[in-house]
A and B are shown apart, each in its own frame.
Chain A
Amino acid sequence: MGNGAVDAHESTARAPFAPWDRRDIPGSFSVDETARRVGNYKWTEMKLFEALGGWVATVPELDVKMRLGTHCYHHAWHADLWHKRLPELREMKPERLTVPANEAMERFIAAMTEPEAPELTIEKLVGVYRVLIPRFIAAYTYHRNNTSEITDAPTIRSINFILQDEFDDWRDGEMLLQSMITTPDHVRRAAEHQERLEAIMVEAGGITGPDSIGTAETTSTEGGA
Chain B
Amino acid sequence: MRQFFPVEDLARDERFVQTNMAERMKDGRTAIDVEKTSSAKSRGATKRLTPERHDASDAARGLMHGIMVGEIQALEGAGRTAHDFAAGDGTNDTVPFELKLDMARQAWDEARHVEISAKLSDWMGTELGEFAENTVLFEAACSNDPILRLAGVNRALEGLAIDVFTQMKEFGDVAGDPFLEFCEDWMLADEVTHVKMGSDWLRKVTANDPERRTKALEFQQVVDKLFSFGGARGESADSSFSLAKRFRELAGFTDDEVTHVKMGSDWLRKVTANDPERRTKALEFQQVVDKLFSFGGARGESADSSFSLAKRFRELAGFTDDEVETISQMDAEALEERKEAVRKYRERVGADA
Contacts and interface: CB of A to CB of B under 8 A. Distances in A.
Nearest to B6: A57
Contacts of B118: 62
A49 B11 contact: no
7 contacts: A55-B79, A59-B11, A62-B72, A72-B108, A73-B107, A76-B100, A113-B1
Main secondary structure of the interface of A (DSSP, over half): helix
A74 B82 CA distance: 13
Interface string A83-103: 100000000000100000000
Given A50-B82, A51-B83, A73-B104, A56 B12 contact: no
A80 B101 CA distance: 8
Contacts of B128: 62
Interface in A58-90: 58-62, 65-70, 72-77, 79-80, 83
Interface in B57-90: 72, 75-76, 78-84, 87
Interface stretch (A1-9, A13-21, A114-122, A141-149): A114-122
Contacts of B327: none
B103 interface: yes
Contacts of B97: 83
A60 B9 CA distance: 10
Contact of A72 (B79, B84, B114): B79
Interface in A28-50: 46, 49-50
B101 A56 contact: no
Given A49-B82, A66-B111, A80-B101, 13 more contacts: A53-B78, A53-B80, A56-B79, A56-B80, A58-B9, A65-B76, A65-B114, A69-B107, A70-B108, A72-B82, A72-B107, A76-B105, A116-B1
Interface of B: 1-2, 5, 9-13, 72, 75-76, 78-84, 87, 97, 100-101, 103-105, 107-108, 110-112, 114-115, 118, 128, 138
A121 to B, nearest CB: 9
A65 B105 CA distance: 15
Contacts of A210: none
A60 B82 CA distance: 19
Contact of A66 (B1, B10, B75): B75
B14 to A, nearest CB: 8
Contacts, number: 108
A23 B92 CA distance: 48
A96 to B, nearest CB: 13
B13 A61 contact: yes
Contact of A69 (B75, B100, B101): B75
A54 interface: yes
B10 to A, nearest CB: 6
Contacts of A70: 107-108, 111-112
Given A60-B13, A118-B11, A54 B5 contact: yes
Contacts of B107: 53, 56, 69-70, 72-73
Contacts of A116: 1-2
Interface residues of A, number: 36
A6 to B, nearest CB: 51
Contact of B11 (A50, A57, A80, A95): A57
Main secondary structure of the interface of B (DSSP, over half): helix
Contacts of A95: 87
A52 interface: yes
Contacts of B110: 69
A58 B2 CA distance: 10
Contact of A76 (B84, B101, B112): B101
A115 B100 CA distance: 22
Contacts of A46: 87, 100
A36 B75 CA distance: 33
Contacts of A60: 11-13
B83 A53 contact: yes
* The 7 A-B residue pairs with the shortest CB-CB distance in the complex, in nearest-first order: A54-B83, A76-B104, A69-B111, A53-B79, A73-B108, A53-B82, A56-B79
A120 B199 CA distance: 38
A136 B79 CA distance: 22
Contacts of B105: 73, 76
Contacts of B84: 54
Contacts of A79: 101
Nearest to A56: B79
Contact of B108 (A50, A57, A69, A113): A69
A68 B115 contact: no
Contact of A53 (B9, B87, B103): B103
Contact of A52 (B5, B9, B12, B79): B79
B13 A55 contact: no
Contacts of A49: 82, 100, 104
A67 B115 CA distance: 10
Interface string A114-143: 111010000000000000000000000000
A54 B87 contact: no
A114 B78 contact: no
Nearest to B14: A60
Nearest to B68: A62
Contacts of B76: 56-57, 65
Nearest to A42: B97
